[in-house]
Structure 1
Amino acid sequence: MMIERIRREHGYMVRLLAILRHKLNEIKQEHAINYSLVSEIVDYLSNHSEKVHHPKEDILYHYFLEHYGQQKTIENLELEHKELAEKTKQFALVVEMILQDAVVPQEMFTQQLEDFITTQKQHLDLEERQILPLIEELFTSEDWLNVESQWQESEDDPVFGDTIADRYKQLAERVRQSNVEFV
């Protein structure tokens, strides 16, 4: 079901944000970090969110508003998705500058990384704590069938799926390591 896939993707995102939080703590302790791994995470969050995750959520939100009336929190989510995409692109540019050996003050990068993590986490929390429970409470089986029929995209995840994309090999390996760390 669509809601389970969305929640599973949220779980993936939370895991990636935890890796970024670990990198942030490393920077604050003045340890070197792997910026290319940070770049892969940001790239994955940007690409997967824009192409798969947010469009799927937007189907739910539009359907909800059409059939259950206006909800200010839900009305704002599509705009929030656009703002998140823009913030992610901006942060990705900073990471890319670092990878290209541009001088980026550590304090500025640290603040931007912290803001990026916080913004992403707040968005996920809003959806998980308020939006999705409301939708689950009100949607009928027919509603779920209707939204499912609107989603025709492939859901092969390039990091967490069966086939790992070449550009995410390092990230997929790090995710597998973190799975072992939490066992």
Structure 2
Amino acid sequence: MLNRLMYDHKHIAVLLNVLKKKQNKLAEGEAINFSVVRDIVEYMQSYTERSHHPVEDIIYGYYLAHKANNELHDLRLQHDVLIQASATLMNTLNLILSDIVVARGKLINDFAEYIDLQEQHMLMEERDIFPLLTQHLTEEDWQRIAKECHSSLIDDPLFLDREHRAFNDLRAYLDAAD
């Protein structure tokens, strides 16, 4: 289960790098493909926020309930902040794609905040939380966690489920970028 989360983080990092490049181009006054950006944020909302983060919450909740005496991080609160940041960025993108004028500074700021929040969050998990889980959870714990996570697990619609049609344009963009 932890391997899956780490694998997801690698994929999220790829997408955040694309967003950084788009943000840099935008900051330099260049035109960018807003549809690609919207698809990335939509992916983050449809997969990361609906499967990846809930699974992390279940695992960390289990850890706190069975292995820890105090809460070191409020992971759910961080996930809520990320959900709000993606909603803000998606709203801005939808305005732009609907031909509504949005200040360039607002868009650049929304990009920067979103990317920074995502990167800091993954860094904290990989540095602080994942090692705790590895150290303290047994195989029996992971089996119990897997049962709890079953209803939250979905196949990654971009990187694993090649039959999924929702992100074909984004998949083609990433393939062309390689």
Q: Would you call these one fold, judging by a TM-score over 0.5? A: yes
1:90 is matched with: 88
Report the equivalent of 1:64.
Answer: 63
Q: Percent identity?
A: 32
Aligned-pair CA distance for 1:125: 0.6
Structure 1 residue ranges (4+ consecutive) displaced by more than 4 angstroms after TM superposition? none
Residue correspondence of structure 1 range 124-135 to structure 2 within 5 A: 124-135=122-133
Q: Which amino acid aligns with 1:28?
A: A
Q: Deviations over 1:116-173 (max 9, x none)?
A: 1001111111111111011101111111111112122453211111335333111111
Give 3-state SS (helix, strand or coil) of 1:156's partner: coil
Q: Distance in 1 between matches of 2:122 and 2:131?
A: 13
Extract unaligned runs of 5+ from structure 2.
Answer: none
Task: Map 1:103-122; keep pairs closer than 5 Å.
Answer: 103-122=101-120
1:162–1:49 Cα change, 3 Å: closer
1:4 paired with 2:31, answer: no
Please give the secondary structure, in 2, of the residue aligned with 1:151.
helix
Structure-2 change in CA distance of 1:149 and 1:51 (3 Å): same
Q: Secondary structure at 2:102's aligned position in 1?
A: coil
Q: Distance in 2 between matches of 1:83 and 1:23?
A: 22
Residue 50 of structure 1, CA deviation: 2.1
Over 3 Å counting, the alpha-carbon distance change for 1:120 and 1:73 in structure 2 is same
Decide which moves more: 9-18 or 152-161: 152-161
Q: Where does residue 41 of structure 1 map in the other structure?
A: 40
**Cα gap change, 1:133/1:23 in structure 2, threshold over 3 Å: closer, same or farther?**
same
* Separation in structure 2 between the aligned mates of residue 123 and residue 59 of structure 1, nearest angstrom: 17
**TM-score, normalised on structure 2?**
0.93
Matched, 1:77 2:103: no
Give the distance between the partners of 1:164 and 1:131, measured in 2 at CA: 33
Q: Give the residue type in structure 2 aligned to 1:13.
A: I
After superposition, the C-alpha distances for 1:19-62 in whole angstroms (9 at most, x for unaligned) are 00010111122110000110000011111122210111111111
Greater mean alpha carbon deviation, residues 44-53 or residues 147-156: 147-156
Shift of 1:112: 1.1
Number of aligned positions between the proteins? 177
Counterpart for residue 29 of structure 1 = 28
Contact 1:156 1:163 (8 Å CA) reproduced? no
